[in-house]
Structures are given as structure tokens and as C-alpha cells.
Structure 1
Amino acid sequence: MPLSTPDDPGTPAGRTESYDLVVVGAGPAGLAGAVAAAERGLSVALLDGDAQLGGQFYRHPAPGLGAAAPEALHHGWAAFDALRRRWEGSGGVHLPQHHVWTVAGERAATPGAGADGASWVVHAVTGPDGDDERSVAVRGRALLLATGAAERHLPFPGWTLPGVIGAGGAQAMLKSGLVLPGGRVVVAGSGPLLLAVASSLVTAGARVPALVEASGYLGYARRPDVLATGPGKLVEAAGLVTRLLGRGARPYPRHAVVRAHGTERVEAVTVARLDGDWRPVPGTERRVPCDAVAVGHGLVPRIDLATALGCETRRTVDGAVALVVDPAQRTSVPGLWSAGETAGIGGALLAMTEGELAGTAVAARLRGVSVARPSARTRSLLRTRARLRAFADLMAAAHRPGDGWPAWLDDDTEVCRCEEVTAGRIGEAVEDLGAGDARTVKLLTRAGMGWCQGRVCGPAVACLATRGGRGTEQRPLPASPERRSPAVPVRLSTLAALDPDPGED
């Protein structure tokens, strides 16, 4: 039986619904954590901004589109489908189209408080875009953050042209809307996601004239011991490459798209060879005609909710910032767990493994079950996590962006698209006005103050701010990302309608 019972689903706006565990994010990690906790008797609320389960990785078409085989564009669909069926039979509560904008902790232990005396209030706005006239507060005795990741975008001249989109964005268009970004799509950037995106595009009927990888793949050879633990991944990658070559895709290892050309939309790109620091090699430029570009340079963890609560962070091998978690997926904040890409990019299987570990640990903590000796299942999960995390770290090191990428830019290149802040203005803020971090650059230029709140330009602005503006002076990277709330846009009326609660921080 659940340790506590959720309030009536018909709870009016403004009243708080209470659960043992609140999970934010219904992707592989959040879904696995919610299932593990619910099957162990906890009452669980699973919140997500999308209408369906699966997150970004298992994004699939809306039922109204009539897709006959949505699994055709996914890897590991059977594992997700089995997890979804378990969730549907677990008695947990799915709260779709709930966009979490902040989380508040109780100042002190209260009657019924959960793990480590903690209790949490999760505030969300509802609707497809969070624009319904209703705000929701959900209370949990424990909190699991599984907020996933976002694409890392590195700008280049012409990247604001229509037809230039993120690699993950192209995949999302295809998976959820069954829409191709164009007929001839150059896939570019760095990281294993490129192969999956290119394969999905050719499966759906697009032509990929060029597969442009900035890093190449020789970095994997430095750790043959780690490669040996994941032979299936190597076979999968080789199969994708063979298939793409058979469909006419030309690989460009150690190259990058350094400029997009066009008037009304992209018509071609310039591809150039890169040196070991990711600077373009003069005289190696090649023009490739296309009508769309899908470009991405890996993923970065989405940890804004966690850092706003004071969670400890670490620098990953590819320069991103991730949360520090213990073997049970607990963060440094008592009563708060995290799983999946928030602890470091690693893929769906690793996310599911970490989610199950977290859900199991929360259930044991709230039920007062001793875990002096982990169960056989937990020991197996720990071994799987160690193996997958080692492979993930190898991938991150192999595809880490080189420090010389700002050499792609000219002073007129827009870095912050929302506020139209150019690389030249950021360079002036750093070199002439003394800015040495992303926050100061934002205050001087408005970079990151637009609608996306830095989610697109943030990594690039931070890199330019801490590396001398135009990549000429090396400065240490910041220790942690900026803390701020709200995590998503909310109306002033939503803030005004909140009832003051003296028990919340």
C-alpha cells in the first residue's frame, strides 16, 4: 500500500496534491524511476511538459497523425514500451503538459516529511506551452529530477537562415510530426547523435549529401578496454555508417560547417577541414548544395531546477556541467535524487538504469528498509551503470569541442538569436569592458535575456566569455552554471496568484 494517498484528481487550482515521490521528467530515466518506486508501494506523480510519455528520446507522433509504426524511427523501442506498460499498471499518476517552473523545499521537517526530513513543493503551469490559465502545486516527500538534456549549439555565419536547425530538432520533427526539414539535408556537428539523425532522415526519404563530423572517431582507439565492454555499440555504429554510405552520404571527418549560404533560406554550406584545435584549415573549403542543415555538437545536461536548489555540480570530460550524485543517485541536497542525462550524457539505457536505481533507493528510504547489502538486482544495475558510464565518458572525450571553434565566427555572426547579439559585441564586452563570465556578458550585451533564456546560446556565450571573447586568451571555465528561477516562462499573474506559504524556502 502507498505510504500516503494522492488527493482527489479533481483538485481545484491552488490546492496542493501530495505524493510520496514526485518525478519531474517522463523520459527514460524519470519513467524508470517512477515505475521502480510505484511498484514498491509508493504513491508517485510523474510530471512532464509533453503530452505523452517518453521524453525527447522516445518522442513519438500524436495519435491523430495515424502513424502505423512509430517504433521504426526509434532505437530500443521494445524496452520503452515494456516500461510504459509497467507504469500503466503501477497505479502512479501521470501529469502531462505540466511545465515545472520552480521547486521549493520545506524549511524544516514537518509531520509526514519524507527522506532526510525533506518535503518538496513542485510548481508547474499547464497546457501545451504552459499557457493555460491554471497553475499547479504538487507536494512530494521525495523528489526525483530527470530533466534530461538540451542540444549544444555552436554558432557560425549563416546559422540563423531558415532551414538551419538543430540535429536533435530535426529528429524531433521527424519523430513527433513525421516532417522532414528538407529534401537534401547536410548533417553536421559532433557526436554519436549525428549518425542516428542521418539514419532517421534517409529512412524517411531524405537525401544526406554530407555527414560532417568535427571530431572524427580516432579518439575511441585510446581506450580499447572500454570499447571492448560495448561491442554492440560498435556493431551498431558500423551498420549505420554502411547504410549511409549506401544511400550516397559522403563522410567528412575532422570537418565542420563554417558558413551557411542563402537568401530566403539555406541553399548551400561551406565545409572546411579542422586542425586539432577545431580551427578551419585555410584552403580546404568546399561548398555543398543543400536545402536544410541539421547541426548539433552534442548535448548538455538540463540542471537549472537542481542548481537553483543548491545541488553540487561537476565538470564533465566534454566541458559541460552535470550534477554530482552518489551510488544511489542522491544529490548533495537531502531528499533530492536525480537520474539520467542530468548526471552526465549517456543515452537511454544508462538513463533507465540510473532511474531504476533512484526509484529503488527512494522507496527503501521512505519505507525505512535497510540497504546494508544491496540486492542482486541492485548490484547488477550498479555494474551496468559503471560500464555504460565509462563508455559515455569515452564518447564525451572523443567528441569534446575544441577550444579553437570561435575561429569560425566573424564579428557580424549572431550568437544570441533572440536579442541579436553578435560575436563582435561579446568580444567587446570581454576584451574592452573586462567581462570574464557569462553573467557579466549578459548584463552588458543582453545575450541570453531573450525568450529562450540562454537555452540555445548559453553554452556558446559562456565559452566566448571565459575564453577571451574570440578564442585568443585562455581563461578557466566557470565552476558551475548560473542559478536562476523560473526554469520556464510564466505569467506575472501566475506569480501573483501564489498563496504565501511560510513553510517554503
Structure 2
Amino acid sequence: MPNSPSEHGRSEHGRATGEQPAGLAVVGAGPAGLTAAVTAADLGVTVTLLDAGDRPGGQYHRHPAPELGARTPGVPHLKRRAWTRWEQRLRHHRSAGRIRYLPAHHVWTVLPEAEEGGWVLHAVAGEEERAVTVRARSLLLATGAYERQLPFPGWTVPGVVGAGGAQAMLKSGLVLPGRRVLVAGSGPLLLAVAASLAAAGATVPAVVEAAAYTAYADRLGTLAVNPGKALEGARLGAGLARRAVRLLSRHAVTAVHGSDRVTGVTVQRLDSAWRPVPGTGRHIPCDALAVGHGLVPQLELATALGCAVRRTADGTVALALDARQRTSVPGIWSAGEAGGIGGVELALLEGQLAGHDVAHELHGTQLPPRTWRLVRRRARRRAFADTMAAAHRPGPGWVDWLTPETVVCRCEEVPVAEVREAVERLGADDSRTVKLLTRAGMGWCQGRMCAPAVAALAGREPPPESRPLSCPVLLGNLARLPGTDASGRGDPAG
């Protein structure tokens, strides 16, 4: 059994025993994490690859549920052939014992190992949330991202889903969120989502983009050295045009109609600051709305370990990485969306680059010549990612979409009026104070959904994530951490 405690050298409580630590632990088996693991294994590093999913691929390469009996989703899918080759190499390394792959393992905290150096990863495995501990000399975080949502009147009506959520429904469940699905928000993901939905049989009346595509005209040099990205966008746009899908740039959904189900939306033109232009509203009938404003790097594990962060061109917070994917903390690397949203091609490059550098660091071997080609290609892709981020950065005027009754925090059902009262009457000037006064951000998602909106209403940039745990975990698992006994009290021997 690949997950048996005896094989992994764990005690019944999941504590590390005398097992030999892996050279590298990789958290996340999406495009960045898997390529990093395989590349490092190619260069002689022993790797433990942990992932919350049941199969490798992350959000981009989602697989249909096994009971559906489908091999691949019936939607357009880029880079599938290249991904298949990486999966084959993963299987080869697993057979040879160079990679230990642990699916359905959610890492909830990472601690430095004081005695021998390196890292101790604490995870929960499977539906029973069994405690698992993994040790490694070095750590690579490929934790991906989640959707950024900006609230608007009616966004809690059934039938409103995230743009990425609609794509996930289609890829893993082979289902559509509705028959007539409007796609709205901002960012390049919208075109891909609309193309996937249309190819699967949905009617997509329009793609409503809040930004202006003319913003790319200021970065023609970056576009010139990334011709593939421009062609990809043009191909998606042409495909939508053939299906009579309208593209409304500098517009936004400012209201959803319907109570038990979406029946339509109001779309308005925006000015350059994303404020709705009076008198420009139009009604578009639909039975579902897929909406999202880009992605936000998922950083809980990294920030808990003290890794430095930076503010990206779209206002989100990402890890600060050097040219070889190293964080500010020695022994920790990162690749993919955690270092800034950039798409699958950039993630593949960064995973390979990080794998090269980890092997160099652990074995003292010379970096192969290909490393420097990867560095140059990565720089070009990262420049394009920065261009996209700047072009689709939310304007400050989007808060004018909101009404006092609009729910900001869905978990705690906190409306705009309560947040504004905390800011204007009670003196709250940051997200933390608003949270203490209104409970916005104290729910199940721990502020992942509402943090950008609460920060905007407080007049601040969203703060870096600061959570000691990356997911909910049983108290029994917390009690087994070093320094506590089985009851959770201090351990005198710890």
C-alpha cells in the first residue's frame, strides 16, 4: 500500500520517525510542481510530491470524476500532449523509487526541523483526514492560486459562479452551470472560459470585460517577444466570433436579476476608473453568470515560513523570487502562480528551472547550460504576465457598483453598509480592524473571497495572507505537533 505508515516511516500519530528525509518535498502537483519534481528527479534528487488532488494536474489539467467514465473533458485544452509526457516521466520515476507521490494529501503547515535542518511537512490524508508527516532537506511550494471575486448586487443569487469554477465544473463534472451563460469580470481567463463553455454546448451571449484591451498597446515590445501569447488570444477571440459571442470591453455586470435563479443581468459601460457610466445600462437575459477578476496567489504556507512577498502589477501579493526561483528563506523554492499569475507555460518553465537549481544546491553539481535558456525564457514570460496584470488591474471605481445591501462577506453575511459604518463611523482604517468590528473574513474561507473588497472599502491594498494553517484541521492533529502532548498541553520533552 503506497500510503501505509510503515512505508513512510511514521508513527501511529503521524510524527516523523527515523526515515531518511527526501532531498526535496514539493507541495502541489500542478504544472509547476510536477515539472519541478520530475526535473529534480532527472538530476538525481529523491523527491516526495504531495498534492491535495487525487490525480496530478492541478486546476489547469483537471480530470473528470472516475465514475463518469470519460478520459478527457470535451473542451478545448492547450498543452495536453506536453502534459502527458510529464505524467509519463512521473510514472517512470515512481517506479524507479526516485519520486514518492502522495495524492489526496493536504499540507496544512510546514515547520523547520531544528536538529537535522530541513523541513517537516504536516498533512492530512484522505477523507478520514489521517495525520501524515513528511521530512525533506529542501522545500518547493507550488501551491497555485484561487479566484479573485469583486462583489456586486445579486452575486449571491443561485446560478452565479466563479469563471474558474465554471471551467472546473466542465472539466471535472462534465456539466454546464446553465444553458445560456454570460461570462464577465476581467482577465485573460474569461476568453478561455467562454470558449470552453461554447464548445461544450452552452450559449454564451457575451464576454463582458471590465478592462480595455487597448492597454496592451503600451507594451508592444513585450508582445513582440511573446508572439505565441498574442496568437493564442487571437485564436480564442476568432473562435468566439464564429459562435457569435459578443465581446464587450470596458463593461461590467452591475446587477443580477432573479431570486431563486438567475434570469438576467444588467451590464453597464465603465469609465477609465471602472465607475459605471449613468444611462448605459442594458439587460441581457441568461440563466447563469460565470464571473471572475483574475487569480490571487495562494501563499499561506510560504508567508507562515517568513518568505518575502511583493506587490504585483494588478495589486495582488505574490512571493518575491530570484531568477532561479529561490525565496528569501534558504532551502525554500517556489514555482508557478505563487510567484505571480502567469499561466501554464510560465509555470512549466519555472518548475524546470527550480528543479535544476534544487539539484545544484543539494548535490553541488554545475548548472546545466539549459538552465540559462530557461532563465531567459522565464524572464520573457514573466514580463508578459506583468503586462496582463497591469492591463486588467481593477480600477478604484468598482466600489460604485455596490449598494448598501450588497453582501461583501458571504460566509458571515456582512453587507456593504456594515463595512462602511466600521470605516466611516467607527474609525476602522484597515482590513483587520474591519474584521474585528464586523466579522467580515472570519468565515469558512477565512477572507479569501472577501479580502479584496473589504480592503478596497477600507481604502487600503489587500494585505499579504497571514494564516498559521492553510486549511481547517482536527484539533487532534494540532495536539500532535512537537511541543504538545496528546491532550494539547505542553510536552516537557518537546
1:205 pairs with 190, 197, 201, which one? 201
**Secondary structure of residue in 1 paired with 2:153:** coil
- Which residue matches 1:381? 374
- Which residue matches 2:154? 158
1:444 pairs with 423, 430, 437, which one? 437
1:500 CA drift (Å): 3.1
- Which residue matches 1:66? 69
- Give the direction of change, closer, same or farther, for the CA distance of 1:504–1:35 in structure 2 (3 Å limit): farther
Q: What's the Cα RMSD here?
A: 1.9
Matches within 5 A, 1:329-478: 329-369=325-365, 371=366, 374-465=367-458, 467=459, 475=460, 477=461
**Secondary structure of residue in 2 paired with 1:140:** strand
Matches within 5 A, 1:75-474: 75-91=78-94, 92-107=99-114, 110-111=115-116, 113=117, 119-127=118-126, 131-369=127-365, 371=366, 374-465=367-458, 467=459
**1:21-62 Cα shifts (integer Å, max 9, x gaps):** 110011111001101111111211111111010001111213
**Secondary structure of residue in 2 paired with 1:73:** coil
- Which residue matches 2:488? none
| Separation in 2, partners of 1:366, 1:360 | 10
**Secondary structure of residue in 1 paired with 2:455:** helix
Moved more, 405-414 or 236-245: 236-245
Residue type matched to 2:49 in 1? Answer: L
2:464 pairs with 481, 492, 496, which one? 481
Structure 1: give runs of 5+ residues left out of the alignment: 1-5, 114-118, 468-474
% identical equivalent positions: 61
| Separation in 2, partners of 1:292, 1:244 | 18
1:9 CA drift (Å): 4.1
Does the Cα contact within 8 Å between 2:408 and 2:415 map onto a contact in 1? yes
Does the Cα contact within 8 Å between 1:105 and 1:504 map onto a contact in 2? no
| Separation in 2, partners of 1:214, 1:242 | 20
**Secondary structure of residue in 1 paired with 2:7:** coil
**Secondary structure of residue in 2 paired with 1:391:** helix
Runs of 4+ in 1 over 6 A off after TM superposition: 501-505
| Separation in 1, partners of 2:107, 2:129 | 15
TM-score, normalised to structure 2's length? 0.93
1:229 CA drift (Å): 1.2
| Separation in 1, partners of 2:436, 2:322 | 36
1:499 CA drift (Å): 4.9
| Separation in 2, partners of 1:143, 1:401 | 33
- Give the direction of change, closer, same or farther, for the CA distance of 1:336–1:503 in structure 2 (3 Å limit): farther
- Which residue matches 1:472? none
Does the Cα contact within 8 Å between 1:152 and 1:298 map onto a contact in 2? yes
- Which residue matches 2:487? none
**1:344-381 Cα shifts (integer Å, max 9, x gaps):** 11001101111111111111111122x4xx43210110
1:210 CA drift (Å): 1.3
Aligned length: 476
Residue type matched to 1:99 in 2? Answer: H
**Secondary structure of residue in 2 paired with 1:89:** helix
Structure 2: give runs of 5+ residues left out of the alignment: 485-490
**Secondary structure of residue in 2 paired with 1:287:** strand
Moved more, 85-94 or 311-320: 85-94
**Secondary structure of residue in 2 paired with 1:500:** coil
| Separation in 2, partners of 1:15, 1:104 | 12
Does the Cα contact within 8 Å between 1:104 and 1:504 map onto a contact in 2? no
| Separation in 1, partners of 2:50, 2:445 | 21
1:232 CA drift (Å): 2.0
Does the Cα contact within 8 Å between 2:180 and 2:288 map onto a contact in 1? yes
1:280 CA drift (Å): 0.2
Does the Cα contact within 8 Å between 1:439 and 1:482 map onto a contact in 2? no
| Separation in 2, partners of 1:214, 1:80 | 32
| Separation in 1, partners of 2:244, 2:144 | 33
- Which residue matches 1:55? 58
Residue type matched to 2:411 in 1? Answer: C
| Separation in 1, partners of 2:192, 2:456 | 27
- Give the direction of change, closer, same or farther, for the CA distance of 1:46–1:168 in structure 2 (3 Å limit): same
- Give the direction of change, closer, same or farther, for the CA distance of 1:499–1:315 in structure 2 (3 Å limit): closer
- Give the direction of change, closer, same or farther, for the CA distance of 1:491–1:162 in structure 2 (3 Å limit): same
Does the Cα contact within 8 Å between 1:35 and 1:87 map onto a contact in 2? yes
